[in-house]
Amino acid sequence: MPVINEAAFVASSTAVQPAEGNLLFNPSLEMVDFDNDSLATGWQSQKEGESDTKFTRLNFGHTGSSSLKVEVSNHVDGVSYYQFTPLAILGGGTCDYSVRYLSNTYSEVNAVYAMNDGSTEYQYLGVSYPSPNGWSTLTTRLVPPEGAVTVSIYNLLYNNGTLITDDYVLTRATVVPFDRPMVTITFDDAFESFYENAFPLFQKYHMDGTIYLVSNDFKAPRFMSVKQIKELEEHGFEIGSHSVSHAHLPALSSKELRYELEESKRVIEKKLGHPIEAFAAPYGEYNDFVQAEIMKVYDSHRSVDVGFNTKDNLTKKNIRAMSAVVDTEPETVLGWVDTAIANGAWLSLVYHDIVEDGGMFTNTPDHLEAVLAGLAARDIDVVTNKEALEYIESKNLTTD
Ligand SMILES: [Zn+2]
């Protein structure tokens, strides 16, 4: 596991800029708790299960001179995290949340709500990926459930590792719709099963989508051939890059990272004879540095960060998506589609392998057909990633 060189960050702090509309108290953690100097005022540390966990307040931060560190070792089970003191939700409504972090491992981001009937509800909001060499940003949007009285949010460590956080921001969001809802169906990895099991269904429903392929896999047995890929393109599919070797990008040196980004683009462009502009990170893993490097080479980055894209939050460096995995029912996916229609959103769906009786990242042909039939019956355009971006940009609906 990479080590976070804390000494390198001591001098890097800049002045705290208060975020407009931030609902959180002491969000940059500058005020030290009266009773416990390993804590910041308004923040609590929590440990559940068996592990050696250390909670420390550090004398440097993303801004200002304070941040909070959770360090877990000898993990057997359970989770460790900081959270802000639960905040009263007045009037509910959609909120945006972001946090800056340094970490050498993964953390899961969850919201916890106290409900007006005394129960507790949890909401999965996403994952933060390792970023040991520089501060990264996790951003997510949450919709409190009906009847929620208070909310708190935490990045929880569920394994050995270190997570340092700073500059928490929770604001009320104003969702601004596009002038039409859109859906993009994306497939990662370009399995041959797509050609055999999914392509005929897309033809039946006169739809297409975007496929992100790993350039090393052109000749691999279970993946589509150049000939098959070209046939998909003739039917309107867009091809994007999914790196050279399906590497964990945050774990690479900057030289290795550039190779995964540039060489995959070069190889796919050579095989297909035209520019490749779209990228999806393998495993959905990125941090701020990886994201910036992706955008030096590609026009867009589809993540697997949970969410819908609307005019107020769309950014080409992080196109949010909803992933269908083996136990995701077609009705669930079509519920996301209805949410997109209701909010004037662009919904990007993520699929992998389309087979019978597969693992976690598979769906059956019957599942896919039910989704395509449901889309055909609804008032929503099914477009490629490129077509969605072209439409949005032609209408000047985004600023980046
Ligand atoms: Zn993949």
pLDDT tens for each residue of 101-115: 999 999 999 999 999
Dist. CA 191–CA 26, nearest whole Å: 48
Instruction: Name all domains of the chain by residue range, CATH numbers in brackets.
Output: 6-172 (2.60.120.260), 182-394 (3.20.20.370)
Name residues with Cβ closer than 5 Å to ligand 1, which is an ion.
Answer: 188-189, 282
pLDDT in tens, 208-252: 999 999 999 887 889 999 999 999 999 999 999 999 999 999 999
Instruction: Give the distance (Å) from ligand 1 centre to CA of residue 284.
Output: 8
How many angstroms separate the alpha carbon of residue 179 from the centre of ligand 1? Answer: 32
> To the nearest whole number, what is the mean pLDDT of the chain?
94
Q: What angle do CA 381, 317, 243 make, to 5 degrees?
A: 95
How many Å lie between the centroid of ligand 1 and the Cα of residue 246? 6
Task: Please compute the mean of the pLDDT values over residues 128-155 and round it to a whole number.
Answer: 94
Q: In angstroms, what is the span from residue 277 Cα to ligand 1's centroid?
A: 17
Contacts of 67 (CB under 8 A, 6+ apart): 29, 57, 58, 60, 61, 164, 165, 166
pLDDT in tens, 332-342: 999 999 999 99
What local confidence, expressed as pLDDT, does residue 221 receive? 87
Task: Tell me: pLDDT of 380 over 80.
Answer: yes
> Is residue 237 exposed (0-12), middle (13-18) or buried (19+ Cβ within 10 Å)?
buried
Q: How far apart are CA 200 and CA 247, in angstroms?
A: 30
192: its two tokens? 């041959």
Q: Which helix (H) or strand (E) covers residue 300, if one does?
A: strand 300-306
Average pLDDT over residues 155-178: 95
- pTM for this structure? 0.92
| Rounded mean pLDDT, 250-260 | 97
Helix (H) / strand (E) containing 227: helix 226-234
Q: How far is the CA of 318 from the centre of ligand 1 (A)?
A: 16
Task: Using pLDDT thresholds of 50, 70 and 90, give the confidence band for residue 122.
Answer: very high
Spatial neighbors of 132 by CB under 8 A, at least 6 apart, are 2, 3, 4, 5, 102, 103, 104
Ranges 66-75, 90-99, 208-217, 354-363: which has the least confidence = 90-99
pLDDT score at 379: 85
- pLDDT category of residue 17 using cuts at 50, 70 and 90: confident
Transcribe 58-123 into DSSP letters.
ES--SBTT-EEEEEEES--S-EEEEEEPPEE-SS---EEEEEEEEESS-EEEEEEEEETTS-EEEE
Is pLDDT at 11 greater than 80 in this prediction? no
Residue 182 CA, ligand 1 centroid: distance in Å: 23
State the distance from the centre of ligand 1 to the C-alpha of 84, rounded, in angstroms. Answer: 34
pLDDT value for 400: 60
